Amino acid sequence: MKHGFIGFGNMAKAIHKGLKKNKKNNFKYISKSSKYKDIELVSSINELVEFSDVIWLCVKPQIIPEILTKLANENFENKLIVSIIAGKKISFIESYLNNDVSIVRVMPNLAIEYGESVTAFCANCDNEIVHNVKTEIKKMGVIAEINEEDFDLFTALYGSGPAFILEVLDTFKFRTEELGVSEDKVNEMIINLLSGTKKYLEKNCYDNSIEELIKKITSKGGTTEAGLKTFKKNKISQSLSEVITSAKNRSEEL
């Protein structure tokens, strides 16, 4: 398939790297940013649409009306628009376009580059090219076909989620530095903590709830129990839930 990117920020780059693993895919992009040597830059949206089977909308929500106005007179026969834009529904895109256009809305995260994304997916139709794109995305992680009205919460949980998890890990990194080990060693330790916890969850989550898995780590009167008591006393779970709600509300505002 031929993929064209309108906008080429961090998420578009991650998607490009994920899709590039399929040698049958070809790529072009248009962006106001600097040139990137591993993908061809085109000079106009018309040129990009003519080249592409799949047009990826990867611009900021604030400028999508300008982009859709430019797209309104293009021919999208046998083509697919894929939007990763937070807060902008398929109906919003449809309202700008004058023809019957196949549109998919997705919400991946940056782990799509490594085949580890959790990606929300919904479409306004079901045809061969939609199926092909869905198959490509499935190769790059877990795909969740959800109702579009749930995208704002999904965006907060799994689009923004990696940043929230890294914020927690940054605290672990800060305290690990007190051990006096090198920065490389600190990073190695943090990565192993995360990967080990992931494997523990993978091996046991189908037979145990997360609450039960926490209890298996916690000895009565021990260090873990002491830490968890402070966790609950300071309502950290509630605070994290509020963080997610703030991100969800911002997605709705966009």
One digit per residue, pLDDT tens: the chain, 254 residues?
A: 999 999 999 999 999 999 999 999 999 999 987 778 889 999 999 999 999 999 999 999 999 999 999 999 899 999 999 999 988 999 999 999 976 899 999 999 999 999 999 999 999 999 999 999 999 999 999 999 999 999 999 999 999 999 999 999 999 999 999 999 999 999 999 999 999 999 999 999 999 999 999 999 999 999 999 999 999 999 999 999 999 999 999 988 87
Contact 240, 248 (CB under 8 A): no
d(CA 207, CA 246): 32
Tell me the C-alpha to C-alpha distance, in Å, between residue 224 and each of 26, 151, 190, 229, 231.
51, 35, 18, 9, 10
> Tokens representing 94?
């449809």
Burial of 110 per CB tally in 10 Å (0-12, 13-18, 19+) = middle
Burial of 128 per CB tally in 10 Å (0-12, 13-18, 19+) = exposed
Fill in the DSSP letter of residue 99: S
Tell me the C-alpha to C-alpha distance, in Å, between residue 110 and each of 2, 12, 13, 118.
21, 9, 9, 9
How many helices and strands (H and E) does the chain possess?
A: 11, 8
Coil, strand or helix at 32: coil
